[in-house]
Amino acid sequence: MDTYQFLNSISMKKFLSIFILLITAFFFLANNNANAKNEESNEKIRVIYFYAVDCSKCQKIKPFLEEIKTEYNDRIEFLEHDVKEDEQCRQLFYNFVQEYNVPDKKAGTPLIFIGNEYLFGVDDIKNNLRNKIEEKYSNQESLLLDCHEYLKNWPNVKKIDFIGGNTDNDVCSIEGEICAIENESDNQKQISLILIITTAAIDSINPCAIAVLIFLITVLISLKTSRRRMLKIGLFYIGAVFTTYYLAGLGLMKIITHFDVATQIGIIAGIIVLLVGFLEIKEGLYPNGKQLLIIPKKTKPIFVKFLIKGSVPSVFIAGILVSAFELPCTGQVYLAILSMLSQDIMQMQGYVYLFVYNIIFVLPLVIILIIAAWGFDINKMENMRLRTRMIVKTLMGLVMIILGLFLLYQNQIIEMLGK
């Protein structure tokens, strides 16, 4: 059969189908070969990463960058420069910031330059670095500055006297000894510390803890306990309260910092504290209404049983139980304070501040114990507590509202106060 007869033997549709299939296969193979040749001819692109040894955000993103270096080992040359320890690297950083027109708010660490773009902060780098590597590698896009050439010619290079502003979001300032996280500054530290101490002072005179201590002292007096023994047992009770609160605070701070949820917990705590603050004011202004922010009545027999025994081990257990049962009174404020202390800028002093907070929290208990041991009428003290209870509640409510607003709008408040 000749070619003419063969073509006549098949339909035009079949012929077109075969023809299209052959053309498609040809272009597919040609495209694959072109891509393969392109992959072989492509050179590694440079990714330059500026970090600081004391930058907590740089530590946070380190595992991700190690993963990137392994994943794109055949595509990128990953160059790392410490802006804190090396003057050459710091000047290189300034040159890159200027060349790429990086705003002052973003001129910090961690900062990555790739092709003609830059990525700043943990979220920006994590969300976009992979896509940028793929894009810049495909286009073989080079950096705007040759960092190798710059360092090679040191010190005969352009030097910049850089003056950076406050950094933005999750970028650390390279100008200070401590990273400036999320617009935090020395002013914010001071405001946070003042708020922590003020809150601790108000929280320390909450009616719940004082009521239990007065009950304990009443029991000890009824047992005709000596002054020395009263002080001993009372201090063990107060010690149990302090230890329980402090250890619980340490544990929660560890969890918050480990999962890096200080911001989220702060928002949640801020909302809760605001709501509870209004409730405290309502209960303070309307004392005859239902009181919700008190130790639950069902729990009282549990710790009262230990208090009545009047021994050191029993009151220590009672102190632990009271600390747990006091959560309706103090838990919201404590969570709010812990979220503040867990923020990156506070972590260096956070554990010390937590210790100070709890010392202030139990200080009125120590004062009441000493006064009672030296013969002050405990009934007068109880009457005074009852008379001032609603005032304390109202005052505590106001402080909680301020604390809640600070947690929710701290950046705006700091910026407003800084003007």
Tell me: the pLDDT tens digits for 232-256?
999 999 999 999 999 999 999 888 8
**Which one has a higher pLDDT value, 289 or 62?**
62
Tell me: the pLDDT tens digits for 122-171?
888 988 999 999 888 888 887 876 666 655 555 554 554 444 443 444 44
- Which of 112-116, 271-275, 341-345 shows the lowest per-residue confidence on average (mean pLDDT)? 341-345
Is the peptide bond prior to 63 cis by the omega test (within 30 degrees of 0)?
no
- Domains of the chain, CATH where assigned: 44-173 (3.40.30.10), 186-418 (no CATH)
Own/partner pairs, 136-143, CB within 8 angstroms, 24+ separation: 136/45, 137/42, 137/45, 137/72, 137/75, 137/76, 138/42, 139/115, 140/42, 140/43, 140/45, 141/45, 141/115, 141/116, 142/45, 142/46, 142/115, 143/46, 143/48, 143/113, 143/114, 143/115, 143/116
Tell me: the pLDDT tens digits for 355-410?
999 999 999 889 989 998 888 887 787 888 778 888 888 888 898 898 888 888 87
Band (113; pLDDT cuts 50, 70, 90): very high
How many residues are given for the chain?
419
**Which one has a higher pLDDT value, 54 or 29?**
54
Q: What is the pLDDT of residue 129?
A: 92
Q: What is the pLDDT of residue 179?
A: 36
Give the pair of three-digit tokens for residue 308: 């009545």
pLDDT beyond 90 at 88: no
- Which of 48-62, 81-95, 97-111, 357-371 shows the lowest per-residue confidence on average (mean pLDDT)? 81-95
Band (414; pLDDT cuts 50, 70, 90): low
Q: What is the pLDDT of residue 363?
A: 92
In this prediction, residues 85-110 reach a mean pLDDT of: 80
**Which one has a higher pLDDT value, 322 or 418?**
322
Give the pair of three-digit tokens for residue 212: 């239990």
- Which of 89-93, 282-286, 315-319, 404-408 shows the lowest per-residue confidence on average (mean pLDDT)? 89-93
pLDDT beyond 90 at 326: no
Neighbouring C-alpha atoms within 13 Å toward the C-beta of 12: 0
pLDDT beyond 50 at 59: yes
Q: What's the mean per-residue pLDDT of the chain?
A: 76
Q: How far apart are CA 148 and CA 383, in angstroms?
A: 78
Task: Give the other-Cβ count within 10 Å of 320's Cβ.
Answer: 17
Tell me: the pLDDT tens digits for 185-236?
455 566 677 878 888 887 787 667 677 778 878 888 877 778 888 899 999 9
pLDDT beyond 60 at 418: no
Cβ-count burial of 28 within 10 angstroms (0-12 exposed, 13-18 middle, 19+ buried)?
exposed
Q: What is the pLDDT of residue 11?
A: 54
pLDDT beyond 50 at 351: yes
Is the peptide bond prior to 301 cis by the omega test (within 30 degrees of 0)?
no
Give the pair of three-digit tokens for residue 335: 């969570």
pLDDT beyond 90 at 340: no
Most confident of 179-188, 290-299, 301-310, 399-408: 399-408
